[in-house]
Structure 1
Amino acid sequence: MDSPIDTTLLNHQFIVNDPLHYLFDAVKAIAVQGYDEERCVIYWNKGSELLYGYTSEEALGQKLEDLIIPHDIRKPVVDEITVWLQKGTEIPASEITLRHKNGKDVPVFSSHVIFTNKYKNKQLYCIDVDLADVKAAQALVIYKERMLKAAFETIPDLFFLMDEEGVINYYHTSNKKNLYKLPKDFIGKPMGDCLPTDIADKFIKHIKKVVKQNTVECFEYKLTMPQGLVYFEARISHLHEYKQVVVIIRDITEQHKSAEIIKHHAYYDALTLLPNRFLALDRLSQLLREAERNNEKIAIFFIDLDDFKKVNDTLGHEIGDKLLIESANRLNKVVRKEDTVGRLGGDEFIVLLKDVNDNLNVLTVVENLLKCFRESFSLDGRDLTLTLSLGIALYPDNGTTSSELLRNADIAMYQAKSLGRNTYSFFTKKMNKSMLRRLEIEEQMHGALERNEFEVHYQPKIDIKHNSLVGAEALLRWHNPSLGNITPDEFIPIAEHTGLIVPIGSFVIKQALNFLHRWQNIQQNPYTMAINISPRQFRDTELLTFVENTLTTENVSAKSIEFEITEGVLMNGQSYIQEALIGLNKLGIKLSMDDFGTGYSSLSYLRRYPFDVLKIDRSFVKGITIDKADLDLVKAIISMAHSLGILVVAEGVETKEQVIILHELNCDYLQGYYYNKPMTEPNLIAYSKKLLCF
């Protein structure tokens, strides 16, 4: 009978030489271990060494549970093996996590088999396949799935997966309110059957394109949803290898609204909501193309609100803005839906009329526009009257380009202003010549002071009672080498408009005071000097300082100076006007109201401001010998002025008959061609010496 030791040795010898072991030794990718009935290692192949970290020498003779079985599952594993050995209940193949020599987990797929050797001893073999790579791959897949799921949950887009024919196989969304139909109504159906025809056609076209060209297509569309009109952006790509199409749809309603707001600000006036200059001119260009193609006529109206600036400056910008808004509304109500009303800026508007038949058709619209402004504007408890001046240019009669037509309509509008405002004017070639002349004058005016082109002339002022020279009025004259002599009626309004009147006016004041000082000294006579002050000069904050300094440097008494002011200055109503008038009065300068009787509120201004002199406009003086109404009016003006302690000057006196009548009416001073035209300094000095000799 063999001893136990001999039996173990024989068993070991059998195991070592077992041909099965040669097979296992040749396979390193699979870990194979053999155990006896006591779970002691009797075989440990190279694969087991690589998988668990123990060498064969370290493992042989060791208990299975002491080597690779984690502590928490030792008992169940031992129990399973014992039951198999004793009762034959097999251990099923399964995934299990075992332990490496370094203590780390080793995931394996483990299979088991029992052999009985020739000595009737049972031997348990474990065949383990390393699952580390598989587990890592599974973990990565799970990670990606969870990450994708999280992304899907956070992204508000609609996601569709469909075949190359557009049949929807799968969808995902975190926001079902943007689904046009319920999933049960579109899963398994073509995308084209689930949307309105026009939108479906877009999808079909783009799906065909991505399948054919393997590109990414993007387009926008809109759908009426329960929550309102929704704008979408669709992106389509092709999974060629899987013959599938991916469609991602995003709600871009907010972006669309923002873009519309930006677009509206870019193309529409923020105050009146009318098309702005850019959009109006763009529409004009479109109209011109259509008119040329269809052989039609179009009309362009250039509109300017009369005296809007005075209202704006007097009552404030808030009232001014309300007037502009209401004006825009009235203009829009008159024109047809297909016509355009635009705001060019400030108080300037443009109206574009398409397909006009003749001037009569245009005039109907014009009359309606003028009529709608005759009704007063009720704003903040005030009733305001605002009229408009309107210039008309026609295509193709008055131009064929946007710039040409707009320029000519603008010229016609200025003609309407000159006709008395609250009216219209068609463009003519004569107007164009007038505007070109205006532009030439404006161009030459720049630098005219520096080139010494301006000269001050002086018109004598006569004391009618003593028939004596008491002073003169300073009047500016301009001779330009290119344009010749330019009348004040031409260049003064342009100088006022451009602001050049400020330096030019300062030049006149300085020249006049310099001459007055020399004139008074030469004749030893307290002559006076009248100087016109324009509305723009009153806006110059340095006016008072300049006048005071000039009086000092030229050594002239303020009492010898008379500033003539038109009603246009006073109508502005701004506080700086009153402050300037009071300041000039405090200096001792006399104030004269020029062109009395031609304005609307002259009497009220005489009461409000400290005027010393009143000048009767030449239009009334001219008529006193032929028109009783003019005679009565001049008589009343002189009487009223004297009752207020104001002296009266009659300008434009040209005949002896006028002199006699004005003398009878007790007028104080006269000016006009009857005595002399405006003259140069030397001529006035000679004239005054001549008068003193008589």
Structure 2
Amino acid sequence: MKSKKVVSALSHEYVINDPLHQLFDAVNAISVQGYDEERRVIYWNKGSELLYGYNNEEAIGQKIEDLIIPKAMSDFVIEAHKNWIKNDIEIPAAELTLLDKSGNDVCVFSSHVMFINQYNNKQMYCVDIDLTDVRQAQEQAIFKEHMLETIFEAIPDLFFLMDYHGTIIDYHASNKGSLFVAPEQFIGKNMATILPAEVTRKFQRYIDKALKQENMISFEYELTLPQGIVYFEARIIHLPTYKQIMIIIRDITEQHKTAELIRHQAYYDSLTLLPNRFSALDRLSKILLDAQIYDEQAAVLFLDLDDFKKVNDSLGHEVGDKLLIESAKRLQQVLRKVDTVGRLGGDDFIVLLPGLNDAQSALVITENLLKTFREPFKVEGRELILTLSIGVAMYPENGNSASDLLRNADTAMYQAKSLGRNTYSFFTKEMNVIIQRRFEIEQQMHGALEREEFELYYQPQFDVKSEKIIGAEALLRWHNPTLGNVTPEEFIPIAEHTGLIVLIGRYVITQALCFLSAWQNIDQQKYTMAVNLSPRQFRDSKLLSIIKNSLDKENINPKYLELEITEGLLMGGQTYVSDALVEINGLGIKLSMDDFGTGYSSISYLRQYPFEVLKIDRSFISGITVSKADYDLVKATIAMSHSLGLTVVAEGVETKKQLKLLHELGCDSAQGFYLSKPISAKQLLDFSASFL
């Protein structure tokens, strides 16, 4: 029985060859085996199992001479393998008769190649082609030799990242000469404007098919290039988490990419070209070893781009990717030559600072990083401000291992976020309490809907002139048996980050409309209900159907539903957002611009999209009695809105004087603690009855 430690060690030895193994795993018709310097099996694909009868578990760890080599050939094979390992004498390709698990002869055409992994260990790979039923003349042998070369050298060399509509977001090509057109002619454009109509239709047909199933889909097509007709294989992979499609194009008439490219892809981020997570942590381990030997300090910086998700949601992933690339360049410009910057994934980066004398040295570099990000980024004609939150963990004070330092730097980064972002924080043990709270909220949020822990509260909205209730805004509250009452400020951002906001948003819509139906019937009044929609919900393919079905089920006229969105959602002008807003308006539902004046405030949005309601943010309402600037701004906003035919709602009314001024300025409706705090459904029914 093989030792689990031996199998684990053998598996670790060939980690660098994972991309190569993925290719071989997909080729069942060909047997591919990998052997270490002791001739022990370290890789055994499905084709080997079909050809020789041994499954992967039976084969891993066995020596080749004990597995498939006839006894008469054993000494020759051992000697030949040693000569290649020690003397660099290659084993030639040849037709061989080997043995399967049952002792039967297996005729194969066997070829070999030698790799050297990151541990400087040599690994021999054998590629065996079954000749039992296909023994032919010399032409067939030449064909198989060519096919062998293709397997080792031809990896798909064109990668395209697209959205669901076929717009090309990013690409990668080892040989730009194989591209149909130059990169500047297709990045950010729809493939229909680049490819011939017949090829575009084929792509779209298979993309539609890929969106409906989980398996990878492949097909072939051809293009006419300057060198003639070239045939390609396209593999489509659906990435539902990111709402994107990865298309891998393989030139099936050319050789594969080189082994160096495989290594680069294994260790570097394809977008920013920075060391990836695996590579960065490997470097950190080496830095810590040197620090221990030379009695030095080191620092790990965990960097997160502030509000980067809003950039992706509002301006699109293409702009987001360009910002990531530019961010990587800026980070590299500030650091010393001995420092390392890597991309952990998404908008998270890691900076490794070796050879430090004290924490002050890390502080100087950290402040320089923050400073360099205060200059605007120029992307596609826009100037964007992108700031950093940085968490710093020092070796050996904050940890002795790579994993401990990374975790503590991450914790410190969240502390920097809580301090207002665009700053840094050094790790302290007290931070664990804060980050633990976040983890607990995220953990408890899963299943909270099923456990019926969420409840809707309603803040009444009043007609400013009559001071009578005309509707309410639905506000979500969460009481968890373990955590107690969790504020929306705590759990909403986490719900957005995890994607749970989609299911929670559906719950809010259905519950709010259910209550509205009962409220209208009990009071015999045509109240309105305002519901907030998050940017993430606009990517929910079921959003419109759920709204419509809920309205139909509760027998509510759509004009009594008001959906609130913020300005930031509109910045990118994405098609799916515009289409959803048009459909919502087409149903007769009112659209409300929420928190007006706090974001990117563009009046053009009020003309471009079918808004009917504008809500002035509470920060301006609170100042109208003490600040002339706030007063003038609110006055101008109300006048402008009325000229555009919009109804104005004032948020955060907390005093009688504020309400009086709003009445004088002609504001239509208001909500706030002076009028009523958010209350439960039962309390609202009792409260509204007192106004009848």
Once residues 547 and 375 of structure 2 are traced to their aligned partners in structure 1, the CA distance between those partners, rounded to angstroms, is 44
Once residues 341 and 547 of structure 2 are traced to their aligned partners in structure 1, the CA distance between those partners, rounded to angstroms, is 47
Once residues 380 and 524 of structure 1 are traced to their aligned partners in structure 2, the CA distance between those partners, rounded to angstroms, is 54
Structure 1 pair 217–635 and aligned structure 2 pair: CA distance change class (3 A): closer
Paired residue for 1:447?
Answer: 447
1:218 aligns with 2:86: yes
Per the TM alignment, residue 307 of structure 1 is displaced from its structure 2 partner at its CA by 4.4
Paired residue for 2:657?
Answer: 657
Asked whether the equivalents of residues 310 and 571 of structure 1 are also in contact (C-alpha less than 8 Å), the reply is no
Paired residue for 1:615?
Answer: 615
Structure 1 pair 357–607 and aligned structure 2 pair: CA distance change class (3 A): farther
Asked whether the equivalents of residues 461 and 670 of structure 2 are also in contact (C-alpha less than 8 Å), the reply is yes
Helix, strand or coil at the partner of 1:218:
helix
Per the TM alignment, residue 316 of structure 1 is displaced from its structure 2 partner at its CA by 5.5
> Which residue identity is paired with 1:593?
M
What are the within-5 Å matches in structure 2 for residues 557-636 of structure 1? 557-636=557-636
Helix, strand or coil at the partner of 1:547:
helix
Per the TM alignment, residue 320 of structure 1 is displaced from its structure 2 partner at its CA by 4.2
Helix, strand or coil at the partner of 2:278:
helix
Once residues 619 and 322 of structure 1 are traced to their aligned partners in structure 2, the CA distance between those partners, rounded to angstroms, is 34
1:499 aligns with 2:499: yes
> Which residue identity is paired with 1:356?
L
Structure 1 pair 295–661 and aligned structure 2 pair: CA distance change class (3 A): farther
Once residues 589 and 304 of structure 1 are traced to their aligned partners in structure 2, the CA distance between those partners, rounded to angstroms, is 38
> Which residue identity is paired with 2:555?
N
Per the TM alignment, residue 324 of structure 1 is displaced from its structure 2 partner at its CA by 3.0
Once residues 634 and 315 of structure 1 are traced to their aligned partners in structure 2, the CA distance between those partners, rounded to angstroms, is 29
Larger Rg: 1
Once residues 538 and 413 of structure 2 are traced to their aligned partners in structure 1, the CA distance between those partners, rounded to angstroms, is 27
Once residues 428 and 614 of structure 2 are traced to their aligned partners in structure 1, the CA distance between those partners, rounded to angstroms, is 40
What are the within-5 Å matches in structure 2 for residues 135-534 of structure 1? 218=86, 259-312=259-312, 317=317, 319-378=319-378, 384-534=384-534
Paired residue for 1:226?
Answer: none
1:238-277 per-residue CA deviation (whole Å, 9 max, x = no partner) reads xxxxxxxxxxxxxxxx99x955443332222233322110
Per the TM alignment, residue 313 of structure 1 is displaced from its structure 2 partner at its CA by 5.8
Once residues 314 and 678 of structure 2 are traced to their aligned partners in structure 1, the CA distance between those partners, rounded to angstroms, is 36
* TM, length-normalised to structure 2: 0.61
Helix, strand or coil at the partner of 1:632:
helix
Paired residue for 1:155?
Answer: none
Per the TM alignment, residue 419 of structure 1 is displaced from its structure 2 partner at its CA by 4.3
1:206-244 per-residue CA deviation (whole Å, 9 max, x = no partner) reads xxxxxxxx9998278xxxxxxxxxx9x9x9xxxxxxxxx
Structure 1 pair 689–287 and aligned structure 2 pair: CA distance change class (3 A): same
Structure 1 pair 664–400 and aligned structure 2 pair: CA distance change class (3 A): farther
1:158-205 per-residue CA deviation (whole Å, 9 max, x = no partner) reads xxxxxxxxxxxxxxxxxxxxxxxxxxxxxxxxxxxxxxxxxxxxxxxx
Helix, strand or coil at the partner of 2:603:
helix
Structure 1 pair 484–355 and aligned structure 2 pair: CA distance change class (3 A): same
1:37-90 per-residue CA deviation (whole Å, 9 max, x = no partner) reads xxxxxxxxxxxxxxxxxxxxxxxxxxxxxxxxxxxxxxxxxxxxxxxxxxxxxx
1:126-184 per-residue CA deviation (whole Å, 9 max, x = no partner) reads xxxxxxxxxxxxxxxxxxxxxxxxxxxxxxxxxxxxxxxxxxxxxxxxxxxxxxxxxxx
1:428-478 per-residue CA deviation (whole Å, 9 max, x = no partner) reads 444332221111011111111111111111111111100101111111111
Once residues 317 and 461 of structure 1 are traced to their aligned partners in structure 2, the CA distance between those partners, rounded to angstroms, is 38
What are the within-5 Å matches in structure 2 for residues 17-166 of structure 1? none
Once residues 577 and 272 of structure 1 are traced to their aligned partners in structure 2, the CA distance between those partners, rounded to angstroms, is 29
Once residues 324 and 218 of structure 1 are traced to their aligned partners in structure 2, the CA distance between those partners, rounded to angstroms, is 46
Helix, strand or coil at the partner of 2:555:
coil
1:669 aligns with 2:669: yes
Once residues 430 and 670 of structure 1 are traced to their aligned partners in structure 2, the CA distance between those partners, rounded to angstroms, is 42
Helix, strand or coil at the partner of 1:691:
coil
Identity of aligned residues (%): 65
Q: Which has the higher contact order (CA 8 A, sep 6+)?
A: 2
Asked whether the equivalents of residues 316 and 572 of structure 2 are also in contact (C-alpha less than 8 Å), the reply is no
Asked whether the equivalents of residues 454 and 476 of structure 1 are also in contact (C-alpha less than 8 Å), the reply is yes
Once residues 572 and 689 of structure 1 are traced to their aligned partners in structure 2, the CA distance between those partners, rounded to angstroms, is 44
Once residues 385 and 338 of structure 1 are traced to their aligned partners in structure 2, the CA distance between those partners, rounded to angstroms, is 28
Structure 1 pair 576–368 and aligned structure 2 pair: CA distance change class (3 A): same
For structure 1, the residue ranges without an aligned partner over 5 or more in a row are 1-213, 221-230, 236-253
Once residues 428 and 267 of structure 2 are traced to their aligned partners in structure 1, the CA distance between those partners, rounded to angstroms, is 32
* Runs of 4+ with deviation above 6 angstroms: 214-217
Per the TM alignment, residue 284 of structure 1 is displaced from its structure 2 partner at its CA by 1.4
> CA RMSD of the aligned region, Å?
2.9
Per the TM alignment, residue 322 of structure 1 is displaced from its structure 2 partner at its CA by 4.0
Per the TM alignment, residue 615 of structure 1 is displaced from its structure 2 partner at its CA by 1.3
> Which residue identity is paired with 2:573?
G
Asked whether the equivalents of residues 593 and 614 of structure 2 are also in contact (C-alpha less than 8 Å), the reply is yes
Once residues 507 and 381 of structure 1 are traced to their aligned partners in structure 2, the CA distance between those partners, rounded to angstroms, is 40
Structure 1 pair 598–426 and aligned structure 2 pair: CA distance change class (3 A): farther
* TM, length-normalised to structure 1: 0.60
Asked whether the equivalents of residues 310 and 572 of structure 1 are also in contact (C-alpha less than 8 Å), the reply is no
Asked whether the equivalents of residues 392 and 424 of structure 1 are also in contact (C-alpha less than 8 Å), the reply is yes
